[in-house]
Structure formats: structure tokens, C-alpha cells
Amino acid sequence: MPKCKYDWPEAGERKLIGQRTSRVDGPAKTSGKAKYTYDVNLPGMLFGKILRSPYAHAKITALDTSAAESMPGVKAVRKIQDVGKEIQWAGDEIVAVAAESEEIARDALDKIKIEFEQLPHLVNEEDLSKAGEHAKAAGSEKAGDPDKAFSDPDVVISEGYYGIAVITHCCLETHGSVAEWTDPDTLKTYFSTQSVSGLPGEIGEALRQAGIDVKNNNIETICQYMGGGFGSKFSPDRWGIENARLAKIAGKPVKLLLERDMDLEVAGARPSSYAKIKVAAKKDGTIVAWQSDSWGTGGPAGATMPPLPYVFTGIPNKLTHHTSVSTNTGPARAWRAPTHPQAALLTMGALEDLAAKLNMDPLEFFSKNADLAGERAEVYRQELRKAAELIDWEKNWHPRGHQTPSHIKHGLGISLHTWGGRGHNSNCNVNIHPDGSVEVSLGSQDLGTGTRTVINIVAAETLGLPLEAITVNIGDSKYPADGASGGSTTVGGVSASTRRGCVDALDQLFAAVAPSLGVPADQLIAAGGKIQAKADSSKSLTWKQACAKLGVKTIQVTGKHPGPCSLGSSGVGGVEMADVSVDTETGIVMINKMVCAQDCGLIIDMKTAESQCYGAMIMGISYALFEQKIMDDATGRMLNPNMEFYKLAGIGDIGELVVHMMTGPGYDERGTIGLGEPPVISPGAAISNAVANAIGVRVPTLPITPEKVLAALEKGGVA
Amino acid sequence: MKRKTQKPKEVAPRQESLTRRDFLKGASVAVSSGLLITEGHAATPSPEPEPVAGPGPVPIILKVNGKPHKLNLEPRVTLLDALRNYLDLTGAKKVCDRGVCGACTVLLDGKPVYACNLLAIQAEEHDIVTVEGLSHDGQLHPVMAAFVENDAQQCGFCTPGFVVACKAFLDKHPDPTFDEVEEGLGGNLCRCGTYVGVRQAVLEAAKSMKGGKANA
């Protein structure tokens, strides 16, 4: 293929791309110097708190805030929802207050008098028969002739029930903002957000609707560091808008970050998915038919059907039905790889049960059916081989139900996943100054994925400079607009815009220095901190000398994505395998080892890329074994809105983890593709399959708690 | 609230940690949903009547990172809120606010404690060291350097708490085994999933700190 101007350097020419670079903001984070939204303290700053509904479904019948308003130290009180409003979930916002201290703000909430008329609620959906009119048919799809395929006497059929509960995001930094009106029509707002460039428009629109005349260009959003988002922090949210309004009323900056209980109850939810699934294969293991009746909830808006069947989309005969259940619970938010972890658990669980019924090794079964995955079949075969090698499948796998006299049963499980990850729209402003300093500026954000580091690497690689020579500016809406960080779209966007901007800026620098070097501009290269002739390295200038030729003129270029030359693509595979031990006396599942074979095109930073996979596997272990938003039928409240009983995996829960990134020919030339979502999709399914392999019976739903393991063993298996 | 200083316990492993609510219940045995809390964690009631502080603000002096700070705080203000809201020391993070996750870990007389689980007035007369007090003149503490090298961080919100807990852990276990690391750091939680890097970083920091080097 002919070389295109902006193309990534060839493998042998890369100095930084693909190496193991430590994240550039690591020192700021480890030393406590990094300032997150929660850490912003401004002179005269007030603290905001919100009164919330204690009921899941209720009408406000009386509301009196006067006692709170007259308290010393209280500077603003705003009724968000007043008498007559119908509340649809517990924790919904009713009154916001701002006061001189957190303590006073909390006292002020206690002084508010409010009465409700309680209405009937539904907060649990696993038992569909109790959902009544909350359950609505939400789509059905058919392909081929499933009835005929299932009635073929030569097929083996497996039927089962599978499910995955609602979990919450539990970002360690709760949602919220610090709002400051620097003058009456100018709002500066520090936000824990995945959408630095998008927020001013959304905030402006909401404030104008509330009668506050403010222009989008007078709103600045800042987020230098953020303590986790995972899909839950795209919107300014009502509390973010209310905080700006409190600050306006009080005439002082206000900090309003959600308390932990409310963050868990209302600011994060991944929809559930439950399904009765029937699958059929020929006796040789070829999958021929799929039928699923699925349902789930994501709060008041219900939940759409996950992509079923997952990965093995080429199953020729398919019938799917989905039911969406609306519940009186905090609304769903995108959760890392929306709908995919659910789809993986339902699909890989059902297929692994089918393999067991066929007495087939699931590795052989999934490899054999890889063609049903379409264009990435060969990638999956390579990844299955690699993962099997890393977990030593051949030695460690046994047929379902570990035949051992010990009460500790050992098992292996597999899951496959896929994701898109095409780069989002991005603008990168590149400035090369006459003193040699370089800035690249993008209205992007680093969620902890390593965005800042990736931008730095691409700029340094392109300009032939060390990392430290580049100033990376992100996390502020005053920089050129960039996409929100969601769907694994960031690395593709920012790496391409930065590459294009730096190539163009370098062209201008070449043009400026060509006369003094006596070499045509198109014969110059930037490498090792110098500008030199391609053919004669003795004809060179140091970076500083070269930039001095600019006189008083700073080079200013904006690189864009999308743009010329293909620098990235979309669509990855990925295979994970889990090795577990199950104690059949206590029901406790322990992770011995998990492996991940993952492709994502050209890797910019191997170290942070691997961290994405390690982190995703750990997050996956957490939702496979521990996490559930437990809702109480009687009160309509979340029973575990704290980190003591909403359990996250700890350092002792993860076992040995191995990551293998697929790189080299066949992968690198695809350019950059996002990685945040894919590796978090498979852990639940791989662990569920490993548990079934260990104890000989399926634990139908996640999280796989000891109680559920013991209940499953009551019905069969090898206790 | 009785104004009495006491020696808080070292950060307990996760399952044994107390909530602030339990703490305030005093010495009575608290049973919360299957977790039996039996240790003498909380104040022992004294037979003598003691002066009661508050409920209004009371003057206190907190010695943080070697420097005394005069503050006027309500007795109900936690050490964490005092550090973050009144001293602008924001390295210790507010995450669970109930003594579970370890993101607010600071050293009290050299021992790691959850700052959200103590009242500021209880920390008076103690030496408090926050993450900001561990690096000097822009030089990273060896634990921090090992965290950077092993990418033991993603969003970084749990990281300062981990760094302080690791420093205290290594003070006590200068040559830890892998199992000791997993047990000793069980009192800190991470959401991004950085434990692989953390395990490696602690073992590496232990090596680099051998010979009493720069373990400030």
C-alpha cells in the first residue's frame, strides 16, 4: 500500500509507540498533588447538599423549606421538585441547599419539612410474573427456521436459565461539581466528567430553560483528573445544574459532590438481563439454532435487549423475544461496554452448557464454531489458542464436574467478546514556539485510561522529541472540542488528531529551516531532538536552533479526526479464560487464574494498554462474584448503598492475572482501536462457565454468591 | 461528645473495619449484619465525668506533616473533613466515608488509620502524616516511584490511600511475601482494578527501600 502522509511510522521506525511508557501523570497522582473535582477548594466556597426522596414512588404533598432558609450559614435553598410532583425512584432530588460548611448544609436538610403520599412501586424484576404492567414487549427477531431446526431429530438441545443482576458504577470519586460564577454571566465549573467539551452546551441549555441567560461560550468546564466514570459521567445531571443555580443564588462558589449512598443508589446502574435460552447443535458440535426469551430493567425506562446471540451471530436459525421491565429504581447509565457483559453471560453460558451436553471440550466447541463469528473468526481462533496456552487448558481442563474426593472443586471456563472502538471526532491544536516549546491541546479528558500519556507519546514520536519536551493540555473546554470518552472511542480520536496536527506543524517547521540547511523541506526529518536531512545526518539543527528560525512566529496548526489517511479502524475480538476453585462446603468461589488475549490494532502504550485489561478482569471478577444492587421490595430502597455491603473485589480476591496483547502483522496495520470496554465483557461468563465446569451444575445468575452455589448444588452437581 | 484522645487502632483488614456509626456507639459490642465487632476499638467509658466539647466549634491544634495548625472545628468534624475542607490537604480522598475503602488513609503516630473514621478532636496531640508529607522537594517517595513504574494506578483516586498504607505496611514488613502483601493491603479498595500493579509495586518498593534508604 502506498505510504500516506500521516500514516503511523513503520514497526522498525517507532521510538515510543508500542513501548512500555509509564503514565505521565503518575507522579501527580501518587503524590496526592493531582487535583480532582472533589479536591477543588475555592475562596469563600460553600457546600451543597440535596434532600432526596425516601420513597421509590410517591407524590409530594407538602414541602416547607422556611426553617432551613432562615438558618445561620445557609446561603441558598432551591426547591427542585415541589408539591404535586410524582417521584419515580428513591433518592430522586427534591431540595438543594448551599451552606458555609458541610455540617450546616446537612443540618439544613434536617430542617426541611416534607410529606408524601406513597404510591405502589416495583423495584425487583427477576420474577417477571410479578412485574404486571411494568413489563412491556420490546422486540422480537427471527432468522431462518428455528422451529424446524429444533425439531430435527439429529440435533442435541440444551435449555437453561441465565441472568445478571443490576449493578452500580461505584466510581470512587462520586458525581458532582464545583460551580463558580466569575461574573454574573460567566460560569466556571469543575466537573467530574467524561465529556469536558460537551458539557458547556448541555449546561447552557439547561440554565437557559431555567431562565438564566448565559451563553455557551461563557461556560467553562474543567476536569484535570477524575476519579472514575465507567460510563456514568456523560451528563451534567440535575445535581450539576442545580449546583450552578445554587452558586448563582448565593453569589459564591459551591461544591456539590454526591454522598456515597446516593451515588450508589441514583448515579449508577447497569441494566439487568435474564433469559430462558434454548440452543441446538448437530452431534459434531456445529451450532444450528438459538431461541431466547429475555427480560431486564434499567430503572424507569426499562432495558433494551442485549445483542443475542452474542459473537456467534451467524447461527443460521434464531428467534429472540425481549421484555423490558420499568422499575422504580435509579435510572440506568451506560456501564463500560453497554449490554455486552450481559450478552456474553447469556450466550457463552448457554453455549457452554450445550458443549457439556455434547460431551465436547468447550475450547474445541468454540473453535469449531468460530466461523459463526463472521469476519473475525481467524482472530478468535488465534486468541483461543493463545489463551489456552496461557492457562494450560490441555493439562487443566476436565469434563464437567470435577471428580475429586476433595470438597474443593476446580474448573476452567471460556468466554469470547467483541467491541467497536472507532475513534471519535477530535481536534488537536499544536503550537510550536520559537523557543522550542511545544504544546498540544485538546478538549479531551483522562478517565484513568492513559489519554494524556497516549497524546504525549504520539506528539513526541511524530516530532522526534522526548516526552518531557511536550506540554499536553487537556481537561478544559477552552481547548479545541473533542469527543466524550465513552465506547472506547478516545484513543482512536486523540491519537489521530494529534498525529495529523503534529505532522502538519512539522511541515511548517521544515519549510522555515530548509533554506538555512540548504536541503529541500520534503527531504527533512525530525528525529532524536533534531531536524536533519534524510540523506545526510550531518546537515542538522537541534530542535531549539530550528525553532529559533521561526523568528517571532509561533506555528499553530489544528489536527482533526476524521481526516486524511486511515489511522485507525473498528472492531476487535478478545478471549478470556478463568481457572477457579469452588468450595462445595461453603459455596465460596476463588479465582486461581485468569488470562486475556486481546487485540486492539496498533498499541500506542503497552503498559497502560495492559492495565486496561488487568483492570477490566478485576472489575469483571468483582461483578461476577460480589456486586449487586440489592433492592428491598417492602421499602423500595437499595439495601446496600455503602461500600461495606456493596462489595468490590479486594486485592486478595483476584488470583493470578495474565494479559496477552495481540500485536504485529495483521494487527498493527489496522491503526488505533479503543480498548476500554472489550476486556470487561467476558469475565462474568468465563467465571460462570468455570464454576459450572468445577461443580457440574450451572449457577444461573451473577453474582455467584456462596448462597447461590450451595442452592445450585442442592439440585445436582458433584458436591 | 467526650473530648478524650485515644490511640486509634491500625487500619484493620477489610472485613473487620468499623463504620463511624459503630465507632460512636462506644465500647458496646456492635453486631451489624453478621459482622461481629469485638475489639476494643472505641472509647472506653470513664467512670469520671469528663468535660464535654461542643456542640459548637472548639479550638484545636492538629499537627500535620510536622506543622501545627490552629483550627476551630465542631467536634463532629472528621479528621478527613478537617484535612480536606479546612487545611486544603486533599491527598486523602473521601470515598466511602465509613471506614471501609482506605482512600483516606493517613498515618497517626506512624500507624495507618482511616481519616474518615476518626474525629478531628481525637487526632489532637498525635502526629498526623498525609500523603503530601511523604514526598519532599519534588522527590517521589520510593513507594510512589514504584507505583508509577508498575502502573499501580488508573484514575488514581484510591492511589494516595494505597501509597500511605503501603508505606506503613513496609515499615512493619520490610521484606514481605506475596501473601503478606495481599493480606496487609486488604483494607484498601480500588475500582479501576489496579491490584496487579499494586502487588508488584509493593514488592519492588520493598527492594528499593532496603538498607534504610529514603523511607521518610
pLDDT in tens, A568-594: 999 999 999 999 999 999 999 999 999
CB contact under 8 Å between B100 and A611, yes or no, is: no
Pick the residue from chain A with its C-alpha nearest to B94. A173
Q: Which three cell numbers stand for residue A532?
A: 536533519
**Distance, CA of B192 to CA of A572 (rounded, Å):** 21
Buried b (16+ CB within 10 A) or exposed e, A614-629: bbbbbbbbbbbbbbbb
Contacts with B130 from chain A: Cβ below 8 Å = 32
In angstroms, the separation between the Cα of residue B5 and the nearest Cα of chain A is 22
Q: How many interface pairs between A and B have CB atoms less than 8 angstroms apart? A: 182
- Considering only CB atoms, B155 lies closest to which of A227, A257, A614, namely A227
Q: Are strands A176-183 and A287-297 parallel, antiparallel or unpaired?
A: unpaired
Whether the domain at A37-119+175-257 and the domain at A423-561 fall into the same CATH topology: no
- Considering only CB atoms, A448 lies closest to which of B88, B147, B156, namely B156
SS3 A275: strand
Residue A2 is predicted with a pLDDT of: 58
Residue in A275, A263, A268 with CA at minimum distance from that of residue A164: A275
Pick the residue from chain A with its C-alpha nearest to B105. A32
**Distance, CA of A660 to CA of A180 (rounded, Å):** 46
**Distance, CA of A648 to CA of A619 (rounded, Å):** 8
Are A224 and A35 in contact by the 8 Å Cβ rule? The answer is: yes
Q: Which fold has domain B142-208?
A: DNA polymerase; domain 1 (1.10.150)
* Mean predicted lDDT score pLDDT of chain A: 97
In angstroms, the separation between the Cα of residue A652 and the nearest Cα of chain B is 5
CB contact under 8 Å between A102 and B148, yes or no, is: no
Secondary structure (H, E, C), A30-77:
HCCCCCEHHHCCCCCCEEEEEEECCCCCEEEEEEECHHHHCCCCEEEE
Domain boundaries, chain B: 14-46+59-130, 142-208
- Considering only CB atoms, B191 lies closest to which of A38, A170, A450, namely A170
Residue B19 is predicted with a pLDDT of: 45
Task: Classify domain B14-46+59-130 by CATH number.
Answer: 3.10.20.30
Helix (H) or strand (E) holding A706: helix A706-714
Whether the domain at B14-46+59-130 and the domain at B142-208 fall into the same CATH topology: no
Domain boundaries, chain A: 37-119+175-257, 336-420+570-714, 423-561
Contacts with A639 from chain B: Cβ below 8 Å = none
Pick the residue from chain B with its C-alpha nearest to A34. B91
How many CB atoms are located within 10 Å of the residue A148 CB?
11
| Cis peptide bond upstream of A480, omega within 30 | no
Task: Classify domain A336-420+570-714 by CATH number.
Answer: 3.30.365.10
CB contact under 8 Å between A39 and B84, yes or no, is: yes
CB contact under 8 Å between A611 and B154, yes or no, is: yes
Q: Identify the residue among A25, A30, A33, A193 best suited for mutation to test binding to B, counting B beta carbons within 10 A and taking the highest.
A: A30
Task: Classify domain A423-561 by CATH number.
Answer: 3.30.365.10
CB contact under 8 Å between B132 and A31, yes or no, is: yes
pLDDT at A548 > cutoff 80: yes
Confidence category of residue B47, pLDDT binned at 50, 70, 90: low
Question: ipTM score here?
Answer: 0.97
Using one digit for the tens of pLDDT, what is the confidence trace for A203-231? 999 999 999 999 999 999 999 999 999 99
- Considering only CB atoms, B151 lies closest to which of A608, A619, A645, namely A608
- Considering only CB atoms, B154 lies closest to which of A102, A448, A651, namely A448
% of chain A surpassing 90 pLDDT: 99
Contacts with A225 from chain B: Cβ below 8 Å = 155-156
Under 8 Å CB-to-CB from A417, ≥6 apart: which residues? Answer: A310, A311, A337, A340, A344, A573, A574, A575, A576, A678, A679, A681, A682
pLDDT at A260 > cutoff 90: yes
Confidence category of residue B214, pLDDT binned at 50, 70, 90: very low
User: Mean pLDDT across the stretch A328-342?
Assistant: 98
**Distance, CA of A223 to CA of A444 (rounded, Å):** 9
CB contact under 8 Å between A618 and B193, yes or no, is: yes
Helix (H) or strand (E) holding B64: strand B58-64
- Considering only CB atoms, A651 lies closest to which of B130, B134, B186, namely B186
Task: Give 3-state DSSP helix, strand, coil % of chain B, rounded to 5.
Answer: 30, 15, 50
CB contact under 8 Å between A643 and B77, yes or no, is: no
**Distance, CA of A485 to CA of A195 (rounded, Å):** 6
- On whether the A37-119+175-257 domain is CATH 3.90.1170.50, my answer is yes
**Distance, CA of A656 to CA of A654 (rounded, Å):** 7
In angstroms, the separation between the Cα of residue A296 and the nearest Cα of chain B is 25
Q: Where are the alpha helices (DSSP H) in A549-700?
A: 606-625, 683-695
**Distance, CA of A562 to CA of B161 (rounded, Å):** 40
Using one digit for the tens of pLDDT, what is the confidence trace for A70-112? 999 999 999 999 999 999 999 999 999 999 999 999 999 999 9
Contacts with A101 from chain B: Cβ below 8 Å = 74, 85
